């Protein structure tokens, strides 16, 4: 016989202790989309979960370089408020999402004057004579303070701020660094802090340290990726700019030669002029790429937009044996998007199709409804197809198979379509052709669109 249970428990048996339930909620928080603040709040909630367990209030400090800075308080401000919070938290079946919501409402509440005062607290770490609370972080030890008012090792301002005489400081550490500190007290119930509470606090402190450490690592990875991407971009742009510069410099130098003939002079000036235009185009494309900012999607008439786009492409294929056909489904009138960027994006896809077919071939531009919600703008060509080696990289910026390509065309298309909430599908067979399908939201058939 086998019994199966959900790994993410929501209901606990009678025998399960309150601690067990709280640790289960903390453990489950690891599986939520990661948010450092939310996860720290869950831990702090666990520490302040009720009168029978743990503490009344929790305060968070985080380290920033060599200083320890106050962040916020979590906890009730009066006995009455405490009771109502504890009632909510002891409701059976309460889980991570409910706790998060509850905590967020606490943090944004206007009456939270204590947090404002806590934010003003800041201590330097690793001084010879660190006062509590800085001492905890410097020494990486839990410190329990009783009779704080008469304890010379405690910072006066701190005691005045929290207004409690007994409190526990827990350092938040990773393997190497001190990341912060949590301070707990029983200011509402005035109950003494017990060894059992201290044990619970130490485990929660380890969790919290781990959360902060993970968050810092994640940020570092994101930063590193950004730097790497910037490096790649800089390298590509350097190359793109250097070739025109060599030519401008070289042909300009030739112009200085007194022996240069009229014909060559004219040729050089023309080359220089065209290379300067090329530089300008590079800058234009770069600025266009970095300025995609779709604020509002509007209902755009598909026919109008595609007409404009295909006209400019027709001018490019004039004189070649390329057939460009456009077909728009009768039922499709509008899509929701940014007309300027999307028009430009479709022109990019069409330009690629023109490059792919070369001197002879067929390009079909079609727009149709996929279903009630989605419309498709498809560009199908009979060109050479996308080489297998670059198939996975076509949407990456600064990757190009073209001699003078910036590698921004499809990266731009993707960014625009993403910004409009759409998606892209690509099918390509080498030597046969490529189909790009751009999906955009449309308005349901029943609803009348804006005239």
Partner 1 sequence: MKKRLLIVEDERNLCLLYREELTKAGYKVTAVADADTALEQIKKQDFDLIVTDIRMPAKNGIELITQIMALRKDIPIIINTAYQSYKHDFMTWAADAYVVKSASLDELKSKIKELIG
Residues in touch with partner 1 (CB under 8 A): 235, 238-239, 242-243, 245-251, 253-254, 271, 275, 401-403
Rounded to the nearest whole angstrom, what is the least distance from the CB of residue 231 to partner 1 in the complex? 9
Neighbours of 296 (CB within 10 A): 6
Distance of CA 17 to the CA centre of its chain: 38
Rounded-to-integer distance, Cα 349 and Cα 100, Å: 44
Token duo for residue 281: 């185009």
Rounded to the nearest whole angstrom, what is the least distance from the CB of residue 242 to partner 1 in the complex? 4
| Cβ contacts of 276 within 8 Å, gap of 6 or more | 244, 248
Rounded-to-integer distance, Cα 170 and Cα 166, Å: 14
Rounded-to-integer distance, Cα 56 and Cα 82, Å: 8
Rg of the chain over all Cα atoms, to the nearest angstrom: 32
311 versus 403: smaller Cβ distance to partner 1: 403
217 versus 246: smaller Cβ distance to partner 1: 246
Distance of CA 300 to the CA centre of its chain: 28
Strand bridging mode 178-185 / 57-64: antiparallel
24 versus 240: smaller Cβ distance to partner 1: 240
271 versus 326: smaller Cβ distance to partner 1: 271
Rounded to the nearest whole angstrom, what is the least distance from the CB of residue 236 to partner 1 in the complex? 9
273 versus 445: smaller Cβ distance to partner 1: 273
Rounded to the nearest whole angstrom, what is the least distance from the CB of residue 264 to partner 1 in the complex? 9
222 versus 246: smaller Cβ distance to partner 1: 246
The pair phi, psi for residue 93, each rounded to 5°, is: 85, 5
Rounded to the nearest whole angstrom, what is the least distance from the CB of residue 259 to partner 1 in the complex? 10
Rounded-to-integer distance, Cα 180 and Cα 208, Å: 9
275 three-class SS: helix
Instruction: Find the helix or strand (DSSP H, E) in which 366 lies.
Output: strand 360-369
190 versus 402: smaller Cβ distance to partner 1: 402
149 versus 402: smaller Cβ distance to partner 1: 402
| Cβ contacts of 323 within 8 Å, gap of 6 or more | 361, 362, 363
275 versus 380: smaller Cβ distance to partner 1: 275
Rounded to the nearest whole angstrom, what is the least distance from the CB of residue 395 to partner 1 in the complex? 20
DSSP assigned state of 77: S
**Nearest C-alpha neighbor of 369 from the set 286, 426, 301, 444:** 444
Rounded to the nearest whole angstrom, what is the least distance from the CB of residue 402 to partner 1 in the complex? 8
One-character DSSP codes across 185-213: E-TTT-PPPPHHHHHHHHHHHHHHHHHHH
260 versus 298: smaller Cβ distance to partner 1: 260
Rounded to the nearest whole angstrom, what is the least distance from the CB of residue 221 to partner 1 in the complex? 22
Rounded to the nearest whole angstrom, what is the least distance from the CB of residue 403 to partner 1 in the complex? 5
Rounded to the nearest whole angstrom, what is the least distance from the CB of residue 357 to partner 1 in the complex? 18
**Nearest C-alpha neighbor of 132 from the set 145, 149, 117:** 145
**Nearest C-alpha neighbor of 60 from the set 157, 204, 197:** 204
């Amino acid at each position: 016989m086998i019994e199966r249970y959900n790994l993410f428990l929501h209901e606990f048996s009678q025998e399960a202790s309150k601690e067990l339930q709280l640790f289960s909620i903390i453990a489950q928080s690891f599986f939520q989309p990661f948010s450092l603040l939310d996860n720290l709040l869950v831990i702090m909630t666990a520490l302040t979960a009720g009168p029978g367990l743990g503490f009344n209030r929790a305060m968070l400090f985080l380290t920033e370089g060599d200083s320890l800075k106050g962040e916020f308080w979590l906890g009730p401000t009066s006995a009455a408020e405490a009771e109502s919070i504890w009632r909510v938290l002891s409701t059976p079946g309460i889980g991570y999402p409910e706790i998060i919501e509850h905590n967020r409402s606490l943090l944004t509440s206007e009456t939270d004057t204590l947090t404002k005062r806590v934010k003003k607290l800041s201590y330097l770490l690793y001084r010879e004579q660190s006062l509590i609370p800085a001492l905890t972080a410097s020494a990486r030890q839990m410190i329990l303070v009783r009779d704080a008012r008469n304890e010379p090792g405690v910072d006066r301002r701190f005691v005045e701020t929290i207004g409690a005489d007994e409190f526990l400081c827990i350092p938040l550490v990773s393997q190497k660094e001190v990341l912060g500190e949590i301070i707990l007290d029983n200011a509402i119930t005035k109950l003494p802090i017990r060894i059992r509470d201290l044990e619970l606090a130490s485990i929660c402190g380890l969790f919290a340290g781990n959360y902060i450490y993970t968050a810092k690592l994640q940020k570092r990875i994101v930063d590193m990726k950004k730097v790497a991407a910037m490096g790649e971009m800089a390298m590509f742009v350097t190359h793109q700019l250097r070739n025109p510069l060599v030519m401008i410099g070289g042909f300009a130098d030739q112009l200085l030669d007194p022996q240069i003939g009229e014909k060559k002079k004219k040729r050089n000036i023309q080359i220089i002029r065209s290379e300067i235009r090329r530089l300008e185009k590079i800058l234009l494309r770069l600025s266009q790429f970095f300025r995609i900012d779709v604020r509002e999607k509007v209902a755009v008439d598909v026919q109008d937009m595609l007409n404009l786009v295909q006209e400019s492409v027709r001018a490019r294929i004039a004189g070649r044996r390329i057939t460009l056909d456009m077909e728009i489904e009768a039922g499709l009138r509008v899509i929701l998007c940014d007309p300027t960027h999307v028009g430009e994006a479709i022109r990019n896809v069409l330009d690629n199709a023109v490059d792919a077919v070369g001197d002879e071939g067929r390009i079909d531009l079609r727009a149709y409804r996929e279903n009630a919600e989605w419309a498709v703008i498809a560009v199908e060509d009979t060109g050479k197809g996308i080489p297998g080696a670059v198939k996975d990289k076509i949407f990456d910026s600064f990757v190009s198979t073209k001699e003078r390509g910036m590698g921004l065309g499809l990266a731009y298309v993707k960014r625009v379509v993403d910004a409009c909430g759409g998606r892209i599908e690509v099918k390509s067979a080498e030597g046969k052709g490529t189909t790009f399908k751009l999906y955009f939201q449309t308005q349901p058939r029943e609803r009348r669109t804006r005239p």
